[in-house]
Chain A
Amino acid sequence: MTDAVLLQAINITKSYAGVQALKSALFELRAGEVHALIGENGAGKSTLIKIITGAVEPDSGEIKLSSSTITHNSPRVAKQLGIAAIYQQPALFPELTVAENIALGLEQTGMLGRVDWRERRRHSAELLAQVGARIDVERAAGELTMPEQQLVEIARSLGAKAKVLIMDEPTASLSEEDTQNLFRVIRNLRSAGVGIIYISHRLEELPVIADRVTVLRDGRTIDTRLMSEVNRQALIQLMVGRELSAVFPKKEVALGDVALELRQLGSSEAGIKDINLSVRAGEIVGLAGLVGAGRTELARTIFGLTQADQGEIVLRGKHVRIESPSQAIKHGLAYLPEDRRRHGVILDMQIGANVTLASLDRLSRYGVMDFKREKEIAADYIRRLGVKTPAIYVPVSTLSGGNQQKIALSRWLVTRPSVLILDEPTQGIDVGAKSEIHALMTELASEGVAILMISSELPEILGMSDRVAVMHGGTIAAILDRKDASQQKILALALGHDLNEVEAQAKAVR
C-alpha cells in the first residue's frame, strides 16, 4: 500500500423514497491497497459503490479521483476514468456467449467498428485462464452456473485494466479453490498499484486479503481501520453495534422417520449418478463438495427441475415421480435455489406477494387470497430475519441484495415443507441475520422438518449438520457422522481421495 490517495468519497448522502441509504458517508482508497467495505444488509455498501461508478446519482457529496472531483459522473465516464466494477447482482447478458459478454464491456470500437472474432475469443479465454476458470467461451452466459457467471464477471473486470476495481461480494458463490485463485489475482493487481474495493460478508476472508477496512452502519461510516489491528469480534461489534455469539445454535433433536430417501438416483442431464442418501425428520444433512461436484444438480433433480433417468425418490415411505417444481411442492418439498440472485424473487412484485408465492394454495380459500394472513406472515418474517424495508408493500427491487435473499428464503419457510433443501442458505447474508437463519433451521428441525443443506462454507457445514455427505464427480463419495467430520476429511473427500486413505492418514498424524 502506498500513501497516494486514489479515490475519495466525501460526505455522500443518498435517500430513496422513504429510506436514507447513505448519510454523509466517507470513504478513501489508496493506490495499491485492498480496502474492505463491510456492514449489515442494507447498510449502504452497494449504494456507495453505485455512486462511485456513476450508476446512481448522490443527493449530495463528491467523488474525487486522484484529488480532482468527478463532475457529471455516469457509468461511461467512470469507465473512461478507469473505474471498473463487479456488481452484486449478475449483469451478464444471458443470450450472448461468454466471449461476447466479456468483449462487450471492453472493446473500444465504435458502432461501426469491425469485430475481430478470433481475437475476441482468444482474449476472453486468456482472461478466464487468469482467474483459473475453465469455461468454454462459446457457451451462452445464461447456461452457466452461478459460480461460473461470477468468474466470467471477474474476468471481464480484469480486462478493463482499471485503476480502481470494485468487487461487490465476488466470492459469494465461489468455492474455496476459486476464492484462492481470485485472491492470487487480487494480490497481483495490488502490487501493480491498482486500488481495490472489496465487499464481503465472509469476515474470515478479510484478514487474508484486505489491508484496511471501512465499516458502514445505517448509511454512516463508523470507522476505517488497518486490518492488522482489528479482529473478527471487533468488526462485528462495529457493524452491528453489539456483541454476537459466534457459536452455532445447534441443538440435539430426536430424529423421526426417514423423510427423504434417494436410491441409486441419477440423471445424465444433470451429470449425477448412483446417489444413495436418506434424511430423517428432524435431521440436518450437510451436502459438501467442490463447485461442479453435482450438489446443486442433485438438488435440482430432487425438485423436478432436471429429470432423473435412474433410481428413485422415496418421500415418507412413498415412491414419487417429480417432474416439476409445482409437483415437488405438493409433495412437501421446498428448495431455495442457488441462482436466486436472478430468479429467487420477482423483483417487480411486492414483498408480501413474493413471500407467499409458493403457498398460494394454502393461503387461499376457493382460490381467494387471505390478505390479512399474507400481511401477518410477511411482517413476521421481516421481523425475524431483520429485513430492512420501509414497508411490506414496496417492490422487492428496492431492497438491498442481502435483504432480497432473506425474502427468497422466507418464501420457502412459509410453505411449511416436510423436506427443506437449502442451497447456500446464508450466502450474501450479514453475520447477525446468519445466526438468525441458523437458529431458524434448528427450530425447523426440532419441529420435524428434514433439512438438506448445501454449503461451501465448511464452518457452517460442520456447525449445523448431523451428518455430512461429501460429493465428488457427480456422486456421493462418503457420508460422515457429526462426530467424525472434520475440515480436513471433508476437503480430502471433496478432492476425490478415498475414505480409508483419508482415515489412515489421519491416524498416521496422530
Chain B
Amino acid sequence: MNLGRYKRELAAAVAFLLLLIMVGISAPSFFSAENLRDLAVNNAPTLLIAIGMTLVILVGEIDISVGSQFAVCSVVAGELAKAGVPVGLLLPCLILIGAAMGAINGLLVGWLRLPSIIVTLAMLVAWRDALRWVTEGTWVQNLPANFQWFGLGQTVGQLLIVVIALIVLVSFSWALRNLGAGRAIYAVGSDSEAARLAGVEPQRVVFGVFVLMGALVGLAALLNAVRFSVVPSNAGLGLELKAVAAVVVGGAAITGGRGTLLGTLIGAALLGTIGTALTFAGINPFWEKAIQGAIILAALVSDVALDRLRISDFGLRSKELSR
C-alpha cells in the first residue's frame, strides 16, 4: 500500500501530535487520567455525529440538520424515560426515531433529488422550531433516577459511552472498507452517473446514508442526555458545524468520494481537545473558536496544496486533463 493515499489523514495526525507535544511540555497535567476521560466522554457524541457526517459527505451530500435532530432526540429520550420506558429499550427507540428523521432527509435528497444543503437547512429550522413550539422552551426535568448514566453509576456509564462510540467507529470503518455497500458509497460520491451505469443505485445509497446519519444522531443524543440530570431543549446548537469541521479536517473531500473514518477520528480529536488544551496551557479559551477556524482553513488550504503536490507528481496542471 502506498502512504500517499493517506497523506491528508497524516497531515491531521501530525497537527494533533504537535498539539499534544505542546501541551505536554507546557502543562503535563493535561495527560491526567481524569482529564483524558472527561475529554473522551465529552467528545463521544460529537464523534458519532461526525461518523455519520463522513458517510454523508463521502456520497457528495451534506446534512446540516443534525443539530436540530439531536435536540429533538434528546427531548424525546427524556420524555420517553419519564413515561416509563425502560432504559434498556431507550437505545433501540432512539436509534429508530433518529433513523426515521434521517429517512425524511434521505427521501427528499435521494429519491426526489433535491439539493441536500437546502433540504437539511429547511429541516434544521423546522425541527428546531417545532421543538420550541412543543416544549415552549422548558427543559425536561424530574427524570427517573435510573436515567442518568443508565442507572449504572458514573464510572461505568462513562465507560459505556466511550466504548459504544469506539465500537461504532471501528465497525463503520470496517464496513466502509470491506462491504460492497462501502464501495458503493465511494463510487456514488466519485461519479454518480458512472456508478448508476455499473448497476449501483445512487438513490438507494444516498437514502441509506441519510438513514444511518439519523440513527447515529439518535444514538449520540441518548448517550449525551444520560450524562445530565435534566435534558435541555436547546441541545446540539452548532453541532452540524463541529461535525462537518471534523470530517473536513480529517481529510475528506467536501465534493465526495474521498475520505476515511480514521481521518474523521483524528479531526474530531484535534478540534475537540483544542479548547481544553488551551485552558491547560494557560491561554485564554476565548481563542478557541478562532484557532478552530484557523485549523479548518489550514486543512482546506493544505488540501489544495497537497493536490498540487499530486499534480506535480503526475505532471498535470489542471484536474480536467488528468482524466
Chain A: residues with CB nearer than 8 A to chain B? 14, 16-17, 50, 54-59, 74-75, 87, 89, 91, 305, 324-326, 328-329, 335, 337, 342-349, 353, 357-358, 360-361, 363-364, 367-369, 371, 393, 397-398, 411
**Chain B interface, number of residues (Cβ within 8 angstroms):** 34
User: What is the chain B residue whose CB lies nearest that of A396?
Assistant: B323
Q: Is the CB of A75 within 8 A of B317?
A: yes
Q: Does B320 contact A (CB under 8 A)?
A: yes
Q: Is the CB of A347 within 8 A of B323?
A: yes
Q: Is the CB of A324 within 8 A of B201?
A: yes
Q: Does B114 contact A (CB under 8 A)?
A: no
Q: Is the CB of A337 within 8 A of B197?
A: yes
In the complex, which residues 254-286 of chain B have their Cβ closer than 8 Å to any Cβ of chain A?
A: 257-258
Chain B: residues with CB nearer than 8 A to chain A? 1-2, 178-181, 183-184, 186-187, 190-191, 193-201, 257-258, 312-318, 320-323
**CB of A334, distance to nearest CB on chain B (Å):** 9
Q: Is the CB of B186 within 8 A of A349?
A: yes
Known contacts A57-B315, A326-B201; A369 and B321 CB within 8 A of each other = no
Q: List 24 A-B contacts (CB under 8 A).
A: A14-B315, A55-B318, A55-B321, A56-B316, A56-B321, A57-B315, A305-B197, A324-B196, A325-B197, A325-B199, A343-B191, A343-B194, A346-B198, A348-B257, A349-B186, A357-B183, A357-B200, A364-B179, A364-B180, A367-B180, A369-B178, A369-B180, A393-B2, A411-B198
Q: What is the bound-complex CA distance between A405 and B323, given in angstroms?
A: 12
What chain B residues lie within 8 Å of A346 (beta carbons)? 187, 190-191, 194-195, 198
Q: What is the bound-complex CA distance between A195 and B323, given in angstroms?
A: 26
User: What is the chain B residue whose CB lies nearest that of A74?
Assistant: B317
User: What is the chain A residue whose CB lies nearest that of B258?
Assistant: A348
Known contacts A324-B201, A343-B194, A348-B258; A360 and B184 CB within 8 A of each other = yes
What chain B residues lie within 8 Å of A368 (beta carbons)? 178-180
Q: Is the CB of B323 within 8 A of A17?
A: no
Secondary structure call for the B interface: helix
What chain A residues lie within 8 Å of B193 (beta carbons)? 342-343
19 further contact pairs, Cβ within 8 A, besides A348-B257, A357-B195: A14-B315, A54-B317, A56-B315, A56-B317, A57-B312, A57-B315, A59-B315, A75-B318, A91-B321, A342-B194, A346-B195, A353-B183, A357-B199, A360-B200, A364-B179, A368-B180, A369-B183, A393-B2, A398-B314
Most chain B CB inside 10 Å of its own CB: which residue of A347, A363, A393: A347
What chain A residues lie within 8 Å of B183 (beta carbons)? 353, 357, 360, 369
What chain A residues lie within 8 Å of B195 (beta carbons)? 346, 357
Q: What is the bound-complex CA distance between A346 and B185, given in angstroms?
A: 12
Q: What is the bound-complex CA distance between A393 and B194, given in angstroms?
A: 19
Q: What is the bound-complex CA distance between A390 and B309, given in angstroms?
A: 20
What chain B residues lie within 8 Å of A358 (beta carbons)? 198-199
What chain B residues lie within 8 Å of A50 (beta carbons)? 321
Q: Is the CB of B190 within 8 A of A347?
A: yes
What chain B residues lie within 8 Å of A411 (beta carbons)? 198
Q: Is the CB of A87 within 8 A of B321?
A: yes
User: What is the chain A residue whose CB lies nearest that of B188?
Assistant: A346
What chain A residues lie within 8 Å of B190 (beta carbons)? 346-349
**CB of A75, distance to nearest CB on chain B (Å):** 7
What chain A residues lie within 8 Å of B200 (beta carbons)? 326, 357, 360
**CB of A506, distance to nearest CB on chain B (Å):** 40
Known contacts A324-B201, A344-B197, A397-B322; A369 and B191 CB within 8 A of each other = no
Q: Is the CB of B198 within 8 A of A325?
A: yes
**CB of A338, distance to nearest CB on chain B (Å):** 11
**CB of A490, distance to nearest CB on chain B (Å):** 29
User: What is the chain A residue whose CB lies nearest that of B1?
Assistant: A393
Q: What is the bound-complex CA distance between A337 and B320, given in angstroms?
A: 22
What chain A residues lie within 8 Å of B198 (beta carbons)? 325, 346, 357-358, 411
User: What is the chain A residue whose CB lies nearest that of B177?
Assistant: A369
What chain B residues lie within 8 Å of A74 (beta carbons)? 317
**CB of A335, distance to nearest CB on chain B (Å):** 8
Most chain A CB inside 10 Å of its own CB: which residue of B1, B199, B258, B315: B199
What chain A residues lie within 8 Å of B258 (beta carbons)? 348
Q: What is the bound-complex CA distance between A368 and B177, given in angstroms?
A: 9
Most chain B CB inside 10 Å of its own CB: which residue of A56, A329, A337, A411: A56
Q: What is the bound-complex CA distance between A464 and B323, given in angstroms?
A: 31
What chain B residues lie within 8 Å of A17 (beta carbons)? 313-314
What chain B residues lie within 8 Å of A344 (beta carbons)? 194, 197
Q: What is the bound-complex CA distance between A56 and B323, given in angstroms?
A: 13
**CB of B202, distance to nearest CB on chain A (Å):** 10
**CB of B172, distance to nearest CB on chain A (Å):** 14
Q: What is the bound-complex CA distance between A343 and B323, given in angstroms?
A: 11
What chain B residues lie within 8 Å of A89 (beta carbons)? 323
User: What is the chain A residue whose CB lies nearest that of B186?
Assistant: A349
Q: What is the bound-complex CA distance between A56 and B317, given in angstroms?
A: 6
Q: What is the bound-complex CA distance between A50 and B321, given in angstroms?
A: 9
